[in-house]
Structure 1
Amino acid sequence: MALLTFKGGIHPDDGKSLAKDKAIVEVKPKGDLVYPVSQHIGAPANPVVAVGDHVLKGQMIAEAGGFVSAPIYASVSGTVKAIAPHLNPTGGRVNSIVIENDGEYKEVEYPEVTPLEDMSKEDILNAIGTAGVVGMGGAGFPTRVKLSPKEPEKIDYIIANCAECEPYITADYRTMIETPEKLVGGMKIILRLFDNAKGIFGVEDNKPDCIEKLKELTKDEPRIEVMALKTKYPQGGERQLIYATTGRAINSAMLPADAGCVVDNVATMVSVYQAVVEGKPSMERVVTVSGDAVAEPGNFRVPFGMNQQELVEAAGGFKTEPEKLISGGPMMGFSMFSLDVPVTKTSSSILGFTKDEVAKMEPSACINCGRCVEACPSRLIPSRLADYAEHHDEEKFTKHEGLECMECGSCSFVCPAKRPLKQAIGSMRKIALANRRKKK
């Protein structure tokens, strides 16, 4: 049987061997912890503590600022040192709560957990929302909101994104290997919210051990199926994953729910399990630290708010001063100019590379080879869209479906002329989307 996949895509060197076999190591921070109040899509959280307050691990320090928002919890015990703007991983300054870590990790007494079988759907949703669970694959959309579509009876598939197609990142892989029971448990919880839905674990076939573990754990679950996907980037893209596993297609104007699907990644489903079954708020995540500049690449369980420089030191520091630092994957992540930033709910990895290969590229004229068209998973013509973008022709850019670009970078990767296609298209796409919002 042919492996499930999508049209287009590329096969970059995945670099996963650096950290793939490194078990998850728990790291306890020593310095101050910084909690940006905007770690998610939607309204910023509102601080509920003041400077000088003593807090415990697991204590809410900021409440949700609206329906599309999420609370934030202290991941250590200590004293609130400041509430002020602080540099975040994207390079901006965000209002943040700074806690001076007392090193004692005293924890709150959590309320007694209601057995899952006694919980209503609303109880489950409230537990997820109260715990501050958001999409941890990068988007940061509040999970309670995602799991509350207008017509839940029309949801046919709950898809666990187990692809982890970005090069170098192995955090989800290690989670699937070490705690697959929590991942499956998270899926079962979500399925309780959707009576007509089937659960799907979509796993790339370069993770046969994960496929085997998940199949063993779900062999007696008639509503759950494990699907092997062809290893190809960007298999973990939401549209590509939905198409590969269900055959359904969505565009930029649609949500997965419009196609009867809900998609969550591995870390998010594990957080759902911890919130509902263990009664614990979202306070930590697994982060990969890798790249050829890192002394001891690995996977680390890290409390939110921990300084990323401190995390890199837990990986042995840099054996060579990196020319390039990336938060997230090398394809869709973003460059960082400083590690003096906190780990947040959406921090999947820190990558350090000895050479900034992109900066050294000298772009030349398009040779009309068509490779970008073949690679584009959205079936666009990237070279043409980049031309429109460079000429600031928003009308033609929009007419030729520029808004359908998912900014995966496949076009730039294969371009023999080394044109910055993704960057040009991405810039124009942001302008076009902003102008569209103004017209509404």
Structure 2
Amino acid sequence: MGLASFRGGIHPYDGKELSKDKLVKEVLPKGELVYPLSQHIGAPAKPIVGVGDRVLAGQIIGEAQGFISANVVASVSGTVKAIEKRLVVSGNKETVIVVENDGLYETVPAIGQQRDYTKLSKEEIRNIVKEAGLVGMGGAGFPTHVKITPKDDSKIEYVIVNGAECEPYLTSDYRMMLEETEKIIKGLKVELSLFENATGIIAVEDNKPEAIKKLQEFVQSEERIKLQVLKTKYPQGAERQLIYACTGRKINSSMLPADVGVVVNNIDTSISIYMAVCESTPLMRRIITVTGDAIKDPRNFNVKTGTNYRELVEEAGGFITKAEKIISGGPMMGLALFSLDVPVTKTSSALLCMTKDEVAKYEPTACIRCGRCVKACPCKLIPQKMYECANNFDNEGFVKLNGMECYECGCCTFVCPARLRLTQAFKQTRRSILDSKKK
């Protein structure tokens, strides 16, 4: 069981010791719940409730529109207060459904009903996953029912559960590997029932020895599941790097993992598949890491989707001192927030609160052609040349340099001695190119 890895990458301070050893704490919302209709890649859901309607926990309130879309499910019982535009994590205003929590937490009748997945057809399993509103919970939010419905089931050879959790400070998946081990395995077995020729792989970085030990105990009796220990390095958990480390197969931005016979899901997605299929429970909760040196009691919380971020800070004891930088997600790929009045969604993973904004204190200088960005890039790109194109609004040149293969991991910016805002420039350029294609 050797260590698997990839070329490139970096080793930032991981900050995981702040929250990794504390049990997950369940938190019930105090105020209203806000459910954006777009919590996934693809078409936004369509509201199927109206203002004044009473809803139950587990009830579909936003219906998927098209194949690549996902249902939105109420996480509490209460009354629909509004359907309007509100601020979300991205900084944009999007259509949301606002539910006034009645504190009763009444559920739809079937919630919690036990089911034997071995007695369900493939179509039934996929429909259950679709109805439950499952999406990839590692950050991208790709609808899970689409991911587990490739063109040919027989060509899927690997189903990988991504337990790398390489993003600094995040420990929610780690806690789940320790506290919900059996559900992870059972969720993977549900997936394997869809792909008769596949082997299950649970991939974990070697900085998580306790999780590795516990998972190994569970998989040793499983004929179709194995544990793959990965070298600790960022971005080991990125889909392309993970697939290469585990299978030796390569994909690019124009491909899906299924094109090389692979399906990849996050740890919490695997748990959610088990809960949906075997416990009749749709996606209504997230495990979120609330951490950083500005937080009094960093830890992981089990929270209802739609909960206000400000309530999470309160549950973590509040701020020790003023937070100069607040990020939804991790420091490498998260989104900086200017307001805590945004809702937890299916793709929320962490709330990172720092006393100092380390990035703001550095002023960019001229590139010295040191090549560190090239060495660090996990996609084997040339960030220095891409940056020149981005600065000159040379979209054609950016594309010729394979700039669209960049997935904005931040490795180049991290190692740049000139403190150039490389990732930010690439993000803007890629967005500009994609927007022009749509037009």
Does the TM-score normalized on the shorter chain lie above 0.5? yes
Distance 1:181 1:113 in 2: 16
Distance 1:425 1:72 in 2: 32
Q: Cα deviation per residue 1:258-289 (whole Å; 9 max; x = unaligned)?
A: 11111100111110000000011110010000
Q: Cα deviation per residue 1:284-317 (whole Å; 9 max; x = unaligned)?
A: 0100000111111000000000011011110111
Aligned to 1:315: 316
Distance 2:431 2:41 in 1: 16
Match of 2:86, SS?
strand
Alpha-carbon deviation of 1:44? 1.2
Aligned to 2:388: 387
- Residues 384-423 of structure 1 aligned to structure 2 (within 5 Å): 384-423=385-424
Distance 2:55 2:2 in 1: 54
Alpha-carbon deviation of 1:433? 2.8
Q: Percent identity?
A: 59
Alpha-carbon deviation of 1:191? 0.4
User: Which residue identity lines up with residue 122 of structure 1 in the other structure?
Assistant: E
Aligned to 2:200: 199
2:290 is the counterpart of 1:284: no
Structure 1 runs of 4+ aligned residues shifted over 4 Å read: none
Whether the aligned pair in 1 keeps the contact of 2:115 and 2:279 (CA below 8 Å) is: no
2:100 is the counterpart of 1:100: yes
Alpha-carbon deviation of 1:2? 4.7
Distance 1:102 1:218 in 2: 42
Alpha-carbon deviation of 1:93? 0.9
Alpha-carbon deviation of 1:430? 1.8
Q: Cα deviation per residue 1:316-372 (whole Å; 9 max; x = unaligned)?
A: 111111111100110011101101010000000001011111111111111111111
Superposed CA RMSD in Å reads: 1.1
Q: Cα deviation per residue 1:57-115 (whole Å; 9 max; x = unaligned)?
A: 12221221222111111111111111111111111111111111111212221165442
Alpha-carbon deviation of 1:435? 3.0
> After the TM superposition, which of the residue ranges 428-437 and 40-49 deviates more from structure 2?
428-437
Aligned to 1:56: 56
User: Which residue identity lines up with residue 425 of structure 1 in the other structure?
Assistant: F
Aligned to 1:167: 168
TM (norm. structure 1) is 0.98
Alpha-carbon deviation of 1:437? 4.2
2:357 is the counterpart of 1:363: no
Distance 2:3 2:114 in 1: 41
Aligned to 1:156: 157
Aligned to 2:44: 44
2:233 is the counterpart of 1:232: yes
Distance 2:172 2:342 in 1: 20
Distance 1:424 1:62 in 2: 35
Aligned to 2:327: 326
Match of 2:279, SS?
coil
Aligned to 1:430: 431
Q: Which runs of 5+ in 1 are unaligned?
A: none
Match of 1:153, SS?
helix
Aligned to 1:6: 6
Give the number of equivalent residue pairs: 438
TM (norm. structure 2) is 0.98
User: Which residue identity lines up with residue 226 of structure 1 in the other structure?
Assistant: L
Match of 1:388, SS?
helix
Distance 1:18 1:329 in 2: 14
Whether the aligned pair in 1 keeps the contact of 2:37 and 2:95 (CA below 8 Å) is: yes
Match of 1:40, SS?
coil
Distance 1:60 1:199 in 2: 31
Aligned to 2:24: 24
Q: Which runs of 5+ in 2 are unaligned?
A: none
